[in-house]
Every structure is written in C-alpha cells, then in structure tokens.
C-alpha cells in the first residue's frame, strides 16, 4: 500500500517537473518575480543579523572607573584583583594618571597650558569591558562599583547601546513587515497561476471526476506545481542575496581600507538558507492549496 502511494506521488512529481520544463519562459518569469519578492526581506535580515553580530562580538560595553587622588598602590592592586574576579567583567586596563596626562598633551590643542598646571589634575583609572549588554544590569553594576571606597566616579554612556538596540529592533520590525507583504504577494501570484492552470484543464478534471477520481488525487499535481515553484523561488532569492552581499563586500572592503578596519558582511548561513527554501516551498504550496480549494469544487461533471 505504501509502495503504491509513493509510486503515485513520484509519478505526479515527475509529471509536474515536465510541465514546468515544457513552459520555461512562463515558469522562469513566475519564479524570478517570487524570488525577487523574497530577496528583499532576506537581504534586510542579513544586514540586521550582521549588525547584531558586530554589536555582540566587537562592541562590548565599557566603563571608566576614576580612582581617588590619594589612592595607594596596594588599593590599586586590590581593585585590579576584584575586577578580574568579577563575573560580569570581561577584562580591565589600568591607565596611570601620568600616562593619561601624556595622552592629553598629545591630543590637546593647548599643550603649553596643560604643561603649566601646578600638578597633574587627572586621576588613575581603570577601563573595564563588561560582559552583559543589558541596560538594567549595566546600571546595577555601575551603582555597585560606585560604592567601592577607592573609586571616585564611574563613567558609563548607555545612550549608544540604547540607540543601537532601538536600531536593531527597527530592523527586525521592517523585516517582519516586508516578509508579511512578500508572503501575501507570493501567495497571490501562485493563487492566480493555479487558477489559470485549473481553467485550462477544466475538461480533463471533469473527465477525471467522471471516472471516479477523488479530489485529493486531482488536487495533488497542482500542489506539487506550487511547491516546486516556491522552492525554485527560494533558490533564486538565495542567489540574489548572495550576489548582493558579495557586491557590497567588494565596495565595503575598499571603503574600510582607508580606516584600517578589517570587516565584511557574512552571507546567509546554510541553516538560514535551508529555512528560506522551506519557507518559500510552503508559501508556494499554500497559494496552490488556497486556489485549488477555491476553484476545484466549482467543477462538477
């Protein structure tokens, strides 16, 4: 029984492929239109995902801990050890006040004024890199570090994190909206394509029903037709996104070379690419299913 069922599906699958190949121009136009519709949200998704990876991997939040002026070396060593043992801190860098003054002299537009100061006004400081990027956790850590006796002030700018997260959230919202619009467009294209297919095969469907063919048997070729076109559209979308990322990377590498930054956009991963193919196949199948359910019942011998 299972062998017969598989043989029937294989026969329908092969015959549907032959139908698609028999009309290459029509099939290609339909597939390219759906592929372009899918490539827009996928491209935005790839850009947003790259931005998220940059944020997580290369832009860990940092805080600057300014120490009191009269602090002793043993207190500095104690703070260094406490920072190394803190679970929320990835790393720390000590900046002595003499080094900080030297850096200020190099960057200042008024070096003579700075040199004539009676004493070094800058304190010793630690620059720490924080593991967690949650705003609430970062503010709690800031308050905790402020309570340490040897620390005078903790500087932390959380606005850039909030802005970047808001930008990411906006990107995800745009992706979801465009995915919804593209999905509706693909389903509509497939709905109309299957409607035309049913209209051209009306006589064949009537004869099939006369000799006892069931609705699932008649519906099966149209569902395969929609699923295969959806799968092909997913492949086209994947290729379009791959070419776009490749072209953008070529220009991006040239641009970032002037700033000595080594960075390039990661293409769509294999896992996400397979998810794209599955999603496009489901969209094609769904459009065909809706069209067949809407039109097939109207045809009776």
Q: What is the pLDDT of residues 19-55, one digit of tens each?
A: 777 777 888 888 999 999 999 999 989 888 887 777 6
Residue, of 230 and 87, whose pLDDT is higher: 230
For residue 160, pLDDT over 80 is answered with no
Q: What pLDDT score was predicted for residue 280?
A: 94
Q: Which of 137-141, 156-160, 161-165, 279-283 has the lowest mean pLDDT?
A: 156-160
Mean pLDDT confidence for 230-254: 89
The token pair that represents 126 in the structure block: 């630690």
Q: What pLDDT score was predicted for residue 260?
A: 63
Q: Where are the domains of the chain?
A: 2-57+162-298, 62-157
Task: Collect all residues with Cβ–Cβ distance below 8 Å to 174 and sequence separation of at least 6.
Answer: 44
CB atoms within 10 A of CB 110: 9
Given pLDDT bands bounded at 50, 70 and 90, which one contains residue 109? low
The token pair that represents 20 in the structure block: 């698609």
Q: Which of 152-156, 197-201, 256-260 has the lowest mean pLDDT?
A: 256-260
Given pLDDT bands bounded at 50, 70 and 90, which one contains residue 13? confident
Q: What is the pTM of this model?
A: 0.69
For residue 144, pLDDT over 80 is answered with yes
Task: Collect all residues with Cβ–Cβ distance below 8 Å to 103 and sequence separation of at least 6.
Answer: none
d(CA 141, CA 70): 24
Task: Considering the domain delimited by 62-157, tell me its CATH architecture.
Answer: 2-Layer Sandwich (3.30)
Given pLDDT bands bounded at 50, 70 and 90, which one contains residue 95? confident
């Amino acid at each position: 029984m299972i062998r017969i069922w598989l043989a029937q599906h294989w026969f329908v699958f092969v015959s549907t492929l032959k139908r698609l190949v028999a009309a290459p121009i029509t099939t290609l136009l339909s597939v390219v239109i759906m592929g372009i519709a899918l490539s827009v949200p996928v491209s935005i998704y790839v850009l947003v995902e790259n931005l998220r990876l940059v944020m997580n991997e290369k832009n860990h939040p940092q805080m600057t801990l300014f120490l009191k002026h009269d602090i002793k070396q043993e207190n500095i060593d104690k703070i260094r050890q406490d920072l190394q043992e803190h679970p929320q801190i990835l790393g720390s860098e000590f900046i002595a006040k003499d080094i900080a003054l030297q850096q200020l002299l190099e960057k200042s537009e008024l070096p003579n004024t700075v040199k004539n100061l009676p004493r070094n006004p800058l304190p010793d400081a630690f620059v720490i890199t924080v593991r967690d990027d949650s705003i609430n956790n970062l503010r709690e850590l800031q308050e905790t570090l402020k309570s340490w006796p040897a620390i005078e002030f903790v500087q932390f700018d959380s606005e850039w994190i909030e802005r970047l997260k808001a930008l990411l959230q906006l990107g995800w919202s745009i992706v979801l909206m465009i995915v919804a619009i593209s999905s509706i467009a693909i389903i509509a294209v497939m709905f109309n394509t299957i409607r035309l297919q049913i209209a051209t095969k009306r006589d064949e469907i009537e004869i099939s029903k006369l000799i006892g063919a069931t609705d699932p048997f008649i519906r099966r070729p149209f569902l395969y037709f929609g699923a295969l076109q959806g799968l092909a559209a997913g492949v086209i979308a994947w290729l379009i996104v791959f070419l776009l990322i490749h072209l953008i990377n070529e220009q991006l590498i040239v641009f970032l070379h002037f700033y000595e930054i080594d960075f390039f956009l990661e293409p769509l991963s294999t896992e996400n690419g397979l998810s794209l193919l599955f999603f496009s196949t489901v969209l094609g199948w769904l459009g065909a299913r809706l069209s067949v359910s809407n039109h097939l019942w109207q045809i009776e011998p």
